[in-house]
Structure 1
Amino acid sequence: MYGYCGNTTAHCGDGCQSGPCLKGAVIAAPGPSPAPAAPNGGSFNVVGQSGVPVMHAGLLPNGRVAFLDKIENYTQLKLPNGQYAYSSEYDPATNLPVALAYKTNSFCAGGTFLADGTFLALGGNAPLGFIDPTIGDGFTGIRYLKRSSSDASLNGQDWSEPGNKLASARWYPSAQTMADGTIFVASGSLNGLDPTVLKNNNPTYEILNAQGVSSGVSVPMEILVKNQPYYMYPFMHLLSDGSLFVFVSKSSELFNVATNTTLRTFADLPGDYRTYPNTGGSVLLPLSSANNWSPDVVVCGGGAYQGVTSPTDPSCGRIQPLATNAAWEMDSMPEGRVMVEGTLLADSTVIFLNGGNQGAQGFGLARNPTFEALIYDATKPLGQRWSTGASTNIARLYHSVALLLLDGTLMVTGSNPVAQPVLQPTAAEPYVTDFRVEIYTPPYLQGANAKKRPTAVALSSKALKANGSTFTVSFTVPAGAQAAKVSLYHGGFVTHSVHMGHRMAFLDTAGWKAGSTSQTLTVTMPPNGNVAPPGPYVVYVVVDGVPAVGQFVQVS
């Protein structure tokens, strides 16, 4: 990829320009597989303008969406000081953005939500004083954005940066909120320079407390050390036993944060590289008590090297990392994709979209955009899980995002594959900065389904505890409704096709009254914070596959 050949099996294959690193054959991954057209593929519709190029995003507890970008020499919004804004707060109700200010460059940051619901952006890159002298060094930056479902006075307030910093510089880090509210932050570059020069890299982790303050200590992490230079923006998922599933390059493990130990190492995922700069998408599939909250993880897409000619990988691996004989089950999409991101939809299916069929992450390094949405149903047998949904006509390449909104639709925006914004395509720059915000309406809200929504949803409490306690939810359903599900949904911090902290748990319910249009269910919360780490969640009531408009709750 970088003209670099390491000494782990994850460095072997086409992407290793020095040739195979180890003796033995490289296990082949499956090629493209058919994905028949979905009976109802949903639809895309442009609804607004983002105000700033969208590199990072998150659904806030007020129902609005935070967009966060790097320092640019042009955006659609300006701040009171006359400088361009690099962050905005977008209101899906009006489709209008409001400019937000920050103090340090958030270029390729990571992030998560604190236990109290505060949106957190971690790390970044150097200042660019020749563009904006008011923005400082973001390599160790920690930025806070507080919003509330009950306090509208917070809306539109700028990012807070009280001055506390990360223990070390991190460009391209990943983050995960743990069961006790602490934040695990891992990986990154010390300076954004050539990652084949190991002194440029930061293959370590650090812990932030529940208020987002760093312990001040960076600890080497073996899986990151071994997989340099492919180690940035690792996929991380908190599992029901408290361990972290960590995936980087082609390698994965279970990691015990408390003891700083690797509990288990898995076989490499066949195929190309899956993390930056050949990032695919990874999703922790919906959790439930039906299988004791056992996790199931899918990883799709990727590529061979960091270049515009790189082939992309259509294959997907799926693994149950806590299973006794955990192994990758291989599947594939209908085409290779890089920068494809998977997002859980309200009905428990997964949508994969955005990205390209050739190239890699980086400015000007991808082409052949992939326009169609792919719908993945994890409950179906292998070979029958994929269908093809609607297509957009907007290229969503480097620096684009997708995330689920309260109403169950998917917001899709971004694509800024140029070093500084370019507004008109040319032969040299065919893919330019795109500010358009699209809404993808899933099949469950198309046509007659839109009239089947549950309504009048009321929760007995919006302060919930992940300790097996119960709450009630009442709602109205159409005549003839058959069954309801209730879920906790956390969208996480979205960037570079990585959805940090993203998860969904279907909760046990009781009290459904057959034939009644007025329903009140008793809902049992997950047993602990490993299943539902503290923070803001959306409760969705889903009746016969159609979700009501979600409501934010705070889980502790």
Structure 2
Amino acid sequence: MQLLPGDFVLMFDRTDTGPSNISLSPCSTTTTTVSPNSGAAAAATTTPDCTAHSILLDLHTNLLHPYPLATNPWCSSGALLPNGTLLQTGGFSSGDRVSRLFSLSTGWVELPSSLAARRWYASDVILPDGRVLVLGGRRQFNFEFFPHNSGDPTSPELTFFPFLEETMELDVENNLYPFLHLLPDGMVFVFANDRAVVFDPYNRAPLRRLPPVPGGVPRNYPSSGSSVLLPLQPEKPSHAEVLVCGGAPRGAYHLALRNGTFVAADRTCARISPTVDDDVGYSGETPAWVVEEMPVARVMGDMVLLPTGDVLIVNGAAAGTAGWELGRTPVTTPVMYSPEKMIGERFRSMASTTIPRMYHSSATLDTYGRVLVGGSNPHVGYVFTNVTYPTELSLEAFLPPYMDAKLDGVRPRIVAAPAEVGYGETTAVRFAVVGVSSGEVVGVGEVRVVAVAPAFATHSFGMNQRVVEMAVGRVVEMDVGVFEVEVAAPPTPGVAPPGYYLWFVVHDGVPSSAAWVRMRPLGPGA
């Protein structure tokens, strides 16, 4: 899933599982490869497909718009480009070396053979210069850029990345969909299996290795945990912390696959500050992981950053791993993690759902501050009956506690916000609060403004998900219940890469709906 500017959510599925439930007119011509995992011999056939495998949800009307897909994006990766176009990279068979661009005006535009290597289970991260780093994938120990260094789309370049070879386990891997986070200094944090490195994507400098997470539990596909970069704060913009939660013990995949033994998932979260922070007293010590326990064990969970700075952990299973039919015991109770609280007080259990969301489920924040939760298909094809966990096509909205109608009196509503800002610029956001009387003071301490980068969510990881809190200045009453807050835009593209963000005003801990604001890229292309 990917939230797009204009309040649309793009969702898509593999193209080789047969007809979907949404008609497509006119029919598209799709090359379909039957997966060897399905028990059939691999064979490519070109047939008309009159159903859609890609849809666009309009959040204002809840209407669905189908779009044709020419190649297979199964287990692919993506990033929202600075111009608001979705870059979507790789997939399976016909799609494994394809880049795709999606915008409302063009639909899908496919760029065949634009990737230097097949990208299946790879990850993408947007960089400070607006390029996208595409790293890893099945048996790919390398990375490349989009667009390419040479500027020639016909000659993509590869850079060897030995860390992925070091972290691969034979027959299991446990390092697919590596967790990538852009740090404020422009370095990239990479987590694979049970350990992490920090590296400079622009120069072939040595990796800075971080210690393994205590316990040795793999946390990448198929032992799928999840990870987020915790919210960046204006008073210490160079400081970053990464949180990694859940996973499955080593050997769990083979036990589930070979003899139907479903091992309990991991219940720990590990947190580390990988940055060199002179402003917070960094003195050269090796960064260390701090390990905490979730209320329940979880594999295949999704972590979603909220505008309040909290992290929602949702979906997944309490036993087994990712993969066809390999998960058991759905975890239907979301958990809220509050990073600013003391250890031992950070986790709260939320209201449960009745729908299991396991393998191939996703979750993402929307413009209203809800968390959209959808999908789940642990089967090779669409299976709706006579199975324990049927294919799930529904979409739910999880309402965080701040959506409670009892808080409407303090809930801000954005009246005006800039369409675009530059780095370090001072701007203003105007908002209304219905429960504030004339002359009542709304102070700086009660008002925060945060920028949220929407994620490309797949396989338990929200790529490029980011929350940046911005420094606020004066808050001035413009009319009865209407205020204007002075806001300092993020200082550098390392803190907030160029592109579109959701800006939320948070008043007394309650966020508004968001306004779309573009961070203007640096350089002549701005």
Of residues 18, 23, 27, the one that matches 1:78 is 23
Q: Residue deviations 1:408-433, cap 9 Å, x none?
A: 11110010111110112x2xx31121
Report the counterpart of residue 530 of structure 1 in structure 2.
494
**What is the alpha-carbon distance in structure 2 between the residues aligned to residue 450 and residue 476 of structure 1?**
12
1:64 and 2:13 aligned: no
Report the counterpart of residue 160 of structure 2 in structure 1.
220
Of residues 80, 102, 118, the one that matches 1:169 is 118
Kindly indicate whether the alpha-carbon contact (under 8 Å) linking 1:252 and 1:266 is maintained by their aligned counterparts in 2. yes
State the AA in 1 paired with 2:275. Answer: L
- The CA deviation at 1:213 is 5.0
1:275 and 2:275 aligned: no
Greater RCO, CA 8 A, separation 6+: 1
**What is the alpha-carbon distance in structure 1 between the residues aligned to residue 187 and residue 155 of structure 2?**
20
415 and 291 in structure 1: CA distance in 2 versus 1, 3 angstrom threshold = same
**What is the alpha-carbon distance in structure 2 between the residues aligned to residue 212 and residue 112 of structure 1?**
20
Q: Residue deviations 1:88-145, cap 9 Å, x none?
A: 001222323211111110000011111211111100001xxxxxxxxxx001011111
**What is the alpha-carbon distance in structure 1 between the residues aligned to residue 518 and residue 455 of structure 2?**
14
Report the counterpart of residue 45 of structure 2 in structure 1.
none
Report the counterpart of residue 85 of structure 2 in structure 1.
118
Kindly indicate whether the alpha-carbon contact (under 8 Å) linking 1:102 and 1:158 is maintained by their aligned counterparts in 2. no
**What is the alpha-carbon distance in structure 2 between the residues aligned to residue 534 and residue 284 of structure 1?**
17
- The CA deviation at 1:215 is 5.8
**What is the alpha-carbon distance in structure 2 between the residues aligned to residue 446 and residue 185 of structure 1?**
40
Report the counterpart of residue 509 of structure 1 in structure 2.
472
1:180 and 2:137 aligned: no
Q: Residue deviations 1:360-400, cap 9 Å, x none?
A: 11111101000001000000001110010110010000111
Report the counterpart of residue 310 of structure 2 in structure 1.
349
**What is the alpha-carbon distance in structure 1 between the residues aligned to residue 125 and residue 8 of structure 2?**
22
**SS of 1:391 mapped into structure 2:** coil
289 and 454 in structure 1: CA distance in 2 versus 1, 3 angstrom threshold = same
Q: Residue deviations 1:202-230, cap 9 Å, x none?
A: 11111112899586112210210101122
Report the counterpart of residue 472 of structure 1 in structure 2.
428
**What is the alpha-carbon distance in structure 1 between the residues aligned to residue 333 and residue 267 of structure 2?**
14
Q: Residue deviations 1:451-499, cap 9 Å, x none?
A: 432124201x21122x211211111123165511111111221100111
1:322 and 2:286 aligned: no
1:421 and 2:382 aligned: yes
Q: 1:128-527 alignment to 2 at 5 Å?
A: 137-147=94-104, 154=105, 158-163=107-112, 165-189=114-138, 201-209=139-147, 216-228=156-168, 229-271=173-215, 272-304=217-249, 305-306=252-253, 307-308=255-256, 309-323=262-276, 324-325=284-285, 326-424=287-385, 426=386, 429-459=387-417, 461-465=418-422, 467-477=423-433, 478-479=435-436, 481=442, 483-513=446-476, 517-527=481-491
Kindly indicate whether the alpha-carbon contact (under 8 Å) linking 2:414 and 2:505 is maintained by their aligned counterparts in 1. no
**SS of 1:379 mapped into structure 2:** coil
- The CA deviation at 1:516 is 6.7
337 and 215 in structure 1: CA distance in 2 versus 1, 3 angstrom threshold = farther
**SS of 1:448 mapped into structure 2:** helix
Taking structure 2 as the reference length, the TM-score comes to 0.85
- The CA deviation at 1:513 is 4.0
505 and 456 in structure 1: CA distance in 2 versus 1, 3 angstrom threshold = closer
Q: Residue deviations 1:11-31, cap 9 Å, x none?
A: xxxxxxxxxxxxxxxxxxxxx
**SS of 1:357 mapped into structure 2:** strand
- The CA deviation at 1:526 is 1.2
**What is the alpha-carbon distance in structure 1 between the residues aligned to residue 153 and residue 189 of structure 2?**
24
**What is the alpha-carbon distance in structure 2 between the residues aligned to residue 61 and residue 292 of structure 1?**
26
Unaligned runs of 5+ in 1: 1-56, 127-136, 148-153, 190-200
Kindly indicate whether the alpha-carbon contact (under 8 Å) linking 1:444 and 1:450 is maintained by their aligned counterparts in 2. no
536 and 214 in structure 1: CA distance in 2 versus 1, 3 angstrom threshold = farther
374 and 215 in structure 1: CA distance in 2 versus 1, 3 angstrom threshold = farther
**SS of 1:489 mapped into structure 2:** strand
**What is the alpha-carbon distance in structure 2 between the residues aligned to residue 435 and residue 99 of structure 1?**
15
212 and 363 in structure 1: CA distance in 2 versus 1, 3 angstrom threshold = farther
Q: Residue deviations 1:256-283, cap 9 Å, x none?
A: 1111233411110123110010111101
**What is the alpha-carbon distance in structure 2 between the residues aligned to residue 288 and residue 268 of structure 1?**
26
64 and 451 in structure 1: CA distance in 2 versus 1, 3 angstrom threshold = farther
Unaligned runs of 5+ in 2: 28-48, 257-261, 277-283, 521-526
**What is the alpha-carbon distance in structure 2 between the residues aligned to residue 238 and residue 352 of structure 1?**
21
Report the counterpart of residue 44 of structure 1 in structure 2.
none
Kindly indicate whether the alpha-carbon contact (under 8 Å) linking 2:97 and 2:112 is maintained by their aligned counterparts in 1. no
Report the counterpart of residue 64 of structure 2 in structure 1.
97
214 and 249 in structure 1: CA distance in 2 versus 1, 3 angstrom threshold = farther
**What is the alpha-carbon distance in structure 2 between the residues aligned to residue 241 and residue 186 of structure 1?**
19
Q: Residue deviations 1:515-536, cap 9 Å, x none?
A: 9722111211111111111111
**SS of 1:412 mapped into structure 2:** strand
Kindly indicate whether the alpha-carbon contact (under 8 Å) linking 2:179 and 2:461 is maintained by their aligned counterparts in 1. yes
Q: Residue deviations 1:213-253, cap 9 Å, x none?
A: 58611221021010112221000100011100110000101
**What is the alpha-carbon distance in structure 1 between the residues aligned to residue 68 and residue 321 of structure 2?**
31
Q: Residue deviations 1:328-381, cap 9 Å, x none?
A: 011010121101111011211110010000011111110100000100000000
**SS of 2:475 mapped into structure 1:** coil
* Larger CA deviation: 177-186 vs 211-220: 211-220
275 and 242 in structure 1: CA distance in 2 versus 1, 3 angstrom threshold = same
**SS of 1:444 mapped into structure 2:** helix
**SS of 2:342 mapped into structure 1:** coil
**What is the alpha-carbon distance in structure 2 between the residues aligned to residue 276 and residue 538 of structure 1?**
29
372 and 545 in structure 1: CA distance in 2 versus 1, 3 angstrom threshold = same
**SS of 1:290 mapped into structure 2:** coil
**What is the alpha-carbon distance in structure 2 between the residues aligned to residue 240 and residue 540 of structure 1?**
21
* Larger CA deviation: 351-360 vs 163-172: 163-172
Kindly indicate whether the alpha-carbon contact (under 8 Å) linking 2:123 and 2:178 is maintained by their aligned counterparts in 1. yes
**What is the alpha-carbon distance in structure 2 between the residues aligned to residue 475 and residue 58 of structure 1?**
27
- In the alignment of these two chains, the number of paired residues is 466
